[in-house]
């Protein structure tokens, strides 16, 4: 049965951000026929806008639905998302102002633009670009899963064509304002989204524990095996190595995603990026509070309530958070909370589709299809591809068997982390040869994908058997280690054989740490 009040409030917010999305085309007006303006907002976003944009980019439906769902279903392991979002900021503080500076100086729009120039290798740049595009698909799909769960929770059927219709409408609206306004649309909408998220989480942290008898009662109700990681024993590291590698692997992968790079390159200075890396941990606090919703859902027993049985059957653990809001809040506030989740899915989905479109246009189409594209043609291709990418994401939702929605993000992480040697190490050294990096990338992608497939795409924790000991860990980390070993060995062989190195089209002075803005 449709929740009329909640649906009205949800639609009201949705219409509001849609209008904002189209208005954004006139905000900080620039020539949207230029890829720099459409796809990077003219590189003019200051500290506050960048903070909201990166927050909207990194804290998504993944935060609101997938993390609490993992805590609800798997327990303490789900908290790996907290240390990883803390680990990433010092790393990004050091690395990405350097990338911004080089990209600004040379007019690079994507990470693959930099890799192409650094190693003068079209194929290595193509590998980085295609990896970014493919890894972005499951991440966009994760956002659409969030929207789908919310639409179902409002009382709409999600079965058959009529069930898919609300999702298709949301997708079409997102596609329309992304096409029209480019990166300005999600930047403007991110402000609304973040305000809604903060209001929702503050209310949830006050109201739900009060209804459940306080945090002491919540933790005493949660099964002990879900409160702690499984301790190592004589034969296996059990949950410890899995938790640690999930945190480290996810941290290293986070800012390699095209949407993260796009948000960074849209900043107006390197210091804007540094200030944001100091400010963004505020979102980690919110993430920790949101993860606790998983324990609250366990303590409340919403899964066993008859009115939610059909929803949990349809969406599994992903319905844990919507069930909490439906049970403990009045309908009007349910509409606000669901709008926060829905808009929290649309903002990153928009940035992701723009980022993937930038990669295709610059590093695939212009390099291999039409070298003589005008700037306007380049932007038109990017707009079209941004639509196609969203369709690809829908395919991921329909095709993959998901125990938890978070598997979508972890799958993308296995692939995108393989670009780390070429991009991040490339900002500091040319010791590794482009052939070594390309072969290492191919082997890393192959090994990581094989591990994910061997787990039937239902998980990403692959158990390594070493010297009679079992070490379970995030497949992305194992694959990255293989990637680096292969890249180093092949680079050494290239040097021993005396093969000619490719020309570096960047300049040594590009890498000096100059403080901008």
Selected residue with higher pLDDT from 64 and 399: 64
Domain 4-413 has CATH 1.20.1730.10: yes
Distance CA 505, CA 482 (A): 28
Q: How do the domains of the chain map onto residue ranges?
A: 4-413
Lowest-confidence segment of 113-117, 179-183, 275-279, 332-336 by average pLDDT: 179-183
What tens digit of pLDDT does each residue of 72-95 get? 888 887 888 788 888 889 999 999
Q: How many CA atoms lie within 13 A of 505 on its CB side?
A: 13
End-to-end Cα spacing for the chain: 54
Q: Output the pLDDT for position 234.
A: 46
Distance CA 432, CA 441 (A): 12
Roughly what angle, to the nearest 10 degrees, separates helices 281-300 and 320-328? Answer: 70
Distance CA 172, CA 353 (A): 13
The answer to whether the CB of 119 falls within 8 A of the CB of 504 is yes
Question: Any residues with CB less than 8 A from the CB of 164 and at least 6 apart, and which?
Answer: 158
What tens digit of pLDDT does each residue of 464-484 get? 887 777 888 889 999 999 999
Distance CA 219, CA 228 (A): 11
Confidence tier at 36 by pLDDT (50, 70, 90): confident
- Cα 358 to chain centroid distance, Å, stands at 17
Instruction: Flag whether pLDDT at 141 surpasses 90.
Output: no
Phi-psi region of 305 (alpha: psi -120 to 50; beta: other; left: phi over 0): beta
Q: CA angle at residue 258 from 252 to 259, to 5 degrees?
A: 100
Q: Output the pLDDT for position 247.
A: 87
């Amino acid at each position: 049965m449709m929740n009329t009040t909640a649906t009205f409030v949800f639609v009201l917010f949705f219409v509001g951000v849609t209008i904002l999305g189209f208005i954004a085309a006139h905000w900080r007006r620039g020539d949207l026929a230029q890829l720099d303006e459409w796809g990077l907002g003219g590189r003019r976003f200051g500290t506050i806008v960048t903070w909201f944009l990166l927050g909207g980019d990194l804290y998504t439906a993944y935060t609101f639905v997938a993390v609490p769902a993992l805590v609800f279903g798997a327990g303490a392991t789900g908290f790996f998302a907290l240390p990883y979002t803390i680990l990433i900021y010092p790393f990004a503080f050091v690395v990405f102002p350097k990338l911004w500076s080089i990209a600004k100086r040379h007019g690079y729009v994507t990470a693959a633009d930099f890799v192409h120039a650094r190693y003068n290798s079209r194929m290595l740049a193509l590998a980085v670009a295609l990896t970014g595009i493919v890894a972005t698909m499951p991440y966009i799909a994760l956002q659409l899963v969030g929207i789908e769960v919310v639409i179902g929770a409002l009382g709409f059927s999600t079965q058959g064509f009529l069930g898919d219709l609300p999702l298709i409408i949301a997708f079409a609206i997102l596609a329309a304002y992304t096409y029209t306004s480019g990166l300005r649309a999600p930047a403007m909408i991110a402000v609304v989204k973040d305000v809604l998220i903060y209001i929702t989480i503050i209310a949830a942290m006050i109201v739900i524990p009060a209804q459940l008898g306080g945090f002491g009662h919540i933790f005493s109700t949660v099964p002990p095996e879900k409160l702690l990681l499984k301790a190592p024993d004589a034969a296996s590291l059990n949950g410890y190595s899995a938790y640690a590698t999930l945190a480290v692997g996810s941290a290293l992968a986070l800012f390699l995603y095209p949407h993260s790079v796009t948000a960074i390159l849209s900043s107006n200075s390197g210091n804007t990026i540094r200030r944001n890396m100091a400010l963004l941990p505020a979102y980690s606090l919110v993430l920790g509070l949101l993860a606790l919703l998983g324990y609250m859902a366990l303590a409340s027993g919403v899964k066993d309530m008859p009115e939610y049985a059909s929803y949990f059957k349809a969406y599994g653990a992903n319905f844990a958070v919507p069930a909490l809001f439906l049970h403990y809040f009045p309908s009007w506030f349910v509409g606000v909370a669901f709008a926060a989740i829905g808009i929290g899915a649309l903002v990153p989905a928009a940035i992701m589709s723009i980022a993937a479109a930038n990669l295709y246009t610059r590093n695939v189409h212009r390099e291999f299809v039409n070298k003589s594209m005008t700037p306007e043609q380049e932007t038109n291709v990017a707009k079209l591809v941004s639509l196609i990418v969203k369709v690809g994401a829908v395919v991921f939702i329909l095709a993959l068997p998901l125990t938890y929605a978070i598997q979508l993000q972890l799958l993308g992480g296995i692939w995108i982390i393989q670009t780390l040697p070429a991009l991040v190490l490339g900002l500091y050294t040319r010791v590794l040869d482009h052939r070594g990096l390309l072969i290492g990338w191919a082997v890393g992608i192959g090994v990581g994908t094989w591990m994910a497939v061997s787990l039937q795409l239902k998980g990403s924790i692959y158990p390594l058997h070493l010297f009679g000991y079992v070490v379970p860990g995030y497949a992305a980390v194992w694959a990255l280690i293989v990637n680096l070993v292969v890249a180093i060995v092949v680079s050494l062989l290239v040097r021993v054989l005396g093969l000619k190195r490719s020309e570096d089209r960047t300049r040594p002075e590009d890498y000096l740490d100059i403080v901008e803005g």
